A = this chain, B = another copy of it.
Amino acid sequence: MPRQMHLGLFILGTGSHVAGWRYPGAVTSFQDFSAIAEIARTAERGLFDLIFMGDNLNADPAAHPSYTLRLEPLTMLAALATVTSRIGLGATVSTTYADPFSVARVFASLDHISAGRAAWNAVTTANPAAAANFGTVHPDHARRYEMAGEFLDVVGGLWDCWDDDAVVADAASGLYIDPARVHALDHAGAFFKVKGPVNIGRAPQGRPVVLQAGGSEPGQILAARTADVVFSVVQEIGEARAQYAALKARLAAFGRTEAEVTVLPGVMPVVGRTDEEAFARLAVLQGFIDSSNGLALLSDRLGIDMSGYDLDGPIPDIPLPDTYHSFARVMLSKARRENMKLRDLYNLTAAARGHWVLCGSPTTIADTLEEWFTTGAADGFNVMPPWFHEGFTDFVDLVVPELQRRGLFRTQYEGTTLRDHLGLSRPAPKR
């Protein structure tokens, strides 16, 4: 079988487009679990590798509504585990604002509940507004990545505390747990001190899958060392190839092979039966962007308040703050390259928060995804529908079959766990 594409579904509230909820017929409530369950079932019908939930840790009522108002990812995914049977379930939890003992056990628990479909998207939380909800000070970028590295090591170590055969449950002898097969961690590092063992047995996947998205240099190093799946933010194929090659080249230094890390650039597909219909749909969506929301979103992505600048002026010469998203670099360089006005930049950011927008017929979209996939730019894609449900069902019903006809995408799930879908083996505990 030729190499197969991997697909993730990114669920961000009312759709990734800032105004997706205004599209005619769109789902407008994202605290309605039944709507989310329908989205998950659609993704599973489309044989996606995984569903993936973002997160943030503050509410700004003036910003993107999906940032401000959402179900908490772990409870939502645990509930989705029971209404799906094969698709992977990934949730974002911050390494800056959570503790490793709790993170290790919730993802192990999700892995047990879902029979091996859990994934943790480890983020460091870029938005400094989170700190005020946790009574603390937002650590700077470098320190957040130092914490993240240690945090990931601790969580991995906790996942390895229980041998696979530690639970004996021998009713005759009365031995339930064999203490010799349960190991403390005894971690004491610069940021965390965690004794262990964790109070949940070894996960069906051994270790739940780890996702990461950091685009900075420390983010790329951390991903090369610890991630199974990397979401990337890119706008053009050349840039995607360079980033892909750079990440894969880093793996050997950590004793890892290229097949062990799946790189999925984010893409917002706007699908129409024809290219014209697709562009007309995008125009409808862009027409809904309100300048205040657009600027608030741009300010959030850049980490700089942009409300004072002239919308019809050039992109101001702004230094990136320490808290910037990797989006910021990608977007600013594109905007300067293409001589955009501030209005163009916020429109682009509002569309997909800096991610690549791919607009066209199923053939056009499949052609482009195929080119990226076969020429070293991607192992698959993190699909970010602009709105739900039609903005996603069109991808599943029109684009997926086209990818399958080309032999690029599975026609059934071959395995049962997310590791199976990604072609990853089940790791033995490291001691």
Contact B176 A21 (CB under 8 A): yes
Residue A132 CB within 8 A of the other chain: yes
Residue A65 CB within 8 A of the other chain: yes
- C-alpha gap A194/B174 in the complex (Å): 47
Residue A22 CB within 8 A of the other chain: yes
Contact B174 A72 (CB under 8 A): no
Interface string of A100-117 (1 = CB under 8 A from B): 011001101110110000
Residue A62 CB within 8 A of the other chain: yes
Q: How far is the CB of A378 from chain B (nearest CB, A)?
A: 31
23 inter-chain pairs at a CB distance below 8 angstroms, sorted by A residue, are A19-B174, A21-B171, A28-B169, A28-B171, A31-B167, A31-B201, A33-B112, A56-B199, A58-B195, A68-B199, A69-B201, A70-B200, A71-B112, A71-B200, A72-B106, A74-B78, A74-B106, A75-B106, A82-B82, A82-B83, A133-B196, A134-B194, A135-B194
Q: How far is the CB of A155 from chain B (nearest CB, A)?
A: 12
Chain B residue with Cβ nearest A188:
B135
Q: How far is the CB of A115 from chain B (nearest CB, A)?
A: 8
Residues of B within 8 A of A74 (CB): 74-75, 78, 106
Contact B174 A133 (CB under 8 A): no
Interface string of A241-260 (1 = CB under 8 A from B): 00000000000000000000
Q: How far is the CB of A77 from chain B (nearest CB, A)?
A: 8
Contact A76 B29 (CB under 8 A): no
- C-alpha gap A98/B101 in the complex (Å): 11
Given contacts A71-B109, A174-B290, A288-B174, contact A58 B199 (CB under 8 A): yes
Contact A72 B109 (CB under 8 A): yes
Contact A182 B61 (CB under 8 A): yes
- C-alpha gap A142/B176 in the complex (Å): 36
Residue A348 CB within 8 A of the other chain: no
**In which size bucket is the chain A interface?**
35 or more
Residues of B within 8 A of A197 (CB): 59, 61
Residues of B within 8 A of A22 (CB): 171, 174
Residue A340 CB within 8 A of the other chain: no
Contact B28 A101 (CB under 8 A): no
Chain B residue with Cβ nearest A55:
B199
Q: How far is the CB of A393 from chain B (nearest CB, A)?
A: 19
Residue A123 CB within 8 A of the other chain: no
Chain B residue with Cβ nearest A98:
B102
Interface string of A305-346 (1 = CB under 8 A from B): 000000000000000000000000000000000000000000
Chain B residue with Cβ nearest A135:
B193
Residue A424 CB within 8 A of the other chain: no
Contact A176 B113 (CB under 8 A): no
Say which residue of B19, B81, B98 sits within 8 Å of A79 (CB atoms).
B81
